[in-house]
Chain A
Amino acid sequence: DTGVSQDPRHKITKRGQNVTFRCDPISEHNRLYWYRQTLGQGPEFLTYFQNEAQLEKSRLLSDRFSAERPKGSFSTLEIQRTEQGDSAMYLCASSLYGGRGHGNSPLHFGNGTRLTVT
């Protein structure tokens, strides 16, 4: 079990630039989640995938944010035209969903990508 891997660990960008983050989940997990966390707050849900299908997006996710999981394995999160308010830790998590009769395993998180927008 290599755990959830996120790249890069840190990203500093200027306002208005686009950034892309990558997440590699635990290999046998079929669900992948993106969360955002700011200082002193709990993780805030952004979106999640089951295999390659994006099943839910938060209402808070503006159209500047887009996530993909093209082959049901790794995922990317892109933020276009970054703003200072986008500065946060972006966390990825994965889990194994076994269907309605078996439910969802706990989410396992990576160590995040810390984004600073100057």
Chain B
Amino acid sequence: EDQVTQSPEALRLQEGESSSLNCSYTVSGLRGLFWYRQDPGKGPEFLFTLYSAGEEKEKERLKATLTKKESFLHITAPKPEDSATYLCAVQGSTLGRLYFGRGTQLTVWP
């Protein structure tokens, strides 16, 4: 069965302290790996889609990378407004449902 595991569960960073979030996955025929940001009480907000190993995407202080077994979300010089839960999801060969991980709760303090 398709599975997504995210680590760490929670991460506290000081403003400006760069770090990475991990997403390990098993999926039959990966058709896309997705990163979302979720603020409390809100729905997930789309960040990136990665389709094949070696692909990278960037947006402001965030950079997502993909290998055959995992993805990383790198956060460079984070700010308090980057505090949120970051969710990883995969879509398999059926192009149907997305399978989500439990997320990493990121807190950036000034």
Contact = CB atoms under 8 A, between A and B. Distances in A.
B96 A48 contact: yes
Interface of A: 4, 33, 35, 40-45, 48, 55-56, 58, 91, 93, 97, 100, 103-104, 106-112, 114
A35 B38 CA distance: 14
B100 interface: yes
Nearest to B97: A45
Interface residues of B, number: 25
B97 A56 contact: yes
Given A45-B98, A45-B99, A111 B42 contact: yes
Contacts, number: 62
Given A41-B102, A43-B87, A111-B41, A106 B96 contact: no
A40 B87 CA distance: 11
B64 to A, nearest CB: 13
Given A42-B6, A42-B100, 15 more contacts: A41-B103, A43-B44, A43-B100, A45-B97, A45-B98, A45-B99, A48-B97, A91-B43, A100-B95, A103-B95, A106-B32, A107-B98, A109-B46, A110-B43, A112-B42
A108 B31 contact: no
A56 B96 contact: yes
